Amino acid sequence: MRWLKQQIEVHGGAVSRGLGLIALAIGGIVLARTALPSLASAGGLSGGEALAEPTSQPAREAVAEIELLPPFVAQDSQGPSVRRQAMLETIIPDRPRMLIARYTVQRGDTLFGIAENFGLKPETLLWGNYDVLQDNPQSLRPGQELRVLPVDGTYYEWNAGDGLTAVATFFGVSFQDIIDWPGNNLPQDLNPEDPKIEPGTRLVIPDGRREFVSWRAPRITRSNPAVAKLAGPGACGSIYDGPVGEGFFIWPTPATFLSGYGFSDFHPGIDIAGSEGTAVYASATGVVVYAGWNNYGYGEMVVIDHGDGWQTLYAHLSQVNVGCGQATFQGNVIGRVGNTGNSSGAHLHFETESDAYGKVNPYNFVSP
């Protein structure tokens, strides 16, 4: 019996190993390892008897590694994660500009629009282009070439005999501010009292400012209308008397929205939209103290003194319907919307002025 048992063990082991080699040849270690336990039970292999291990087991190791991995759990789409962003264009960061640029005015441009496109204040464009605009935003015309400063401030061309301290004081900055601006290319050891800067050198004055050269119409009263005699042929020369205003104003034209500029230090009125020929009404009762052409950019203009310390002005008219000394009442037609003088399109330039407050924003005293 012992001899028979040994023969069974020997032949059973040989058969098992032979089958394992055949399985390896046709399909791989994994199939062989899976089939052997069932073969052992069917072929009479002894329980607890181990089969000889093959010399190489890459498939078993791979299976073991996969079985040991933790189960996959999908992440909550609402949880924190790093998401890929599709970028169709490369974003290039803005680089600071140090030098003065040039811009040619296009049809439809406004001073405010150009300034916004370059990230500047409108007054910076005026201060940088006095020779072109004369501190008057209404002087803007297509084809003009403007200097565009790299930062808000003023522009100055050096003159022989200038002192850097005096120039800086005039513009409300320190001389070191001017020296430190890289685009000015000034040495740090420069003598501010005798800087020896070449005449004609163009300097940027960062954060500098100056007073605007006034192009505004003067306050014209019925007691002294001749004060406007230098303003143009529309000036009146006699002393007038007549009705007094009601103490409030009405909107002076049918259109109710602005077409260009609002009230500011350099634009002492509002520009009201309107088609050429649209009626313009007296905002309050009073006496006409200017009627006709103005030489300072207002074109055809009417000024009414209201007798209560107030004056209203209506400019760029296409037609003037009143004359010097004429009494006019609130709501009367005094002219027509136009595009005369320094104007880039039909509109009404409307101003209000008080003896107590000076030029004031009409929006604070009248609403459409």
DSSP letters spanning 187-226: -TT--SSS--PPTT-EEEEET---PPPP-PPPP-BTTBGG
Q: What is the CATH number of domain 225-364?
A: 2.70.70.10
Structural tokens at position 122: 């409108």
Give CATH superfamily name and number for 101-206.
Answer: LysM domain (3.10.350.10)
Residue with tokens 């401030």: 153
Residue 167 has a CB neighbour count (10 Å cut-off) of: 21
Give the tens place of pLDDT for each residue, 292-343.
Answer: 999 888 899 999 999 999 999 999 999 999 999 999 999 999 999 999 987 8
Residue 62 has a CB neighbour count (10 Å cut-off) of: 12
Give the tens place of pLDDT for each residue, 27-79.
Answer: 544 444 554 444 444 444 444 444 444 444 444 444 445 555 566 555 555 55
CA distance 178 to 196: 14
Report the run of H or E that residue 352 belongs to, with start and end: strand 347-354
Domain limits, the chain: 1-45, 101-206, 225-364
Report the pLDDT value the prediction gives residue 308, as an integer from 0 to 100. 94
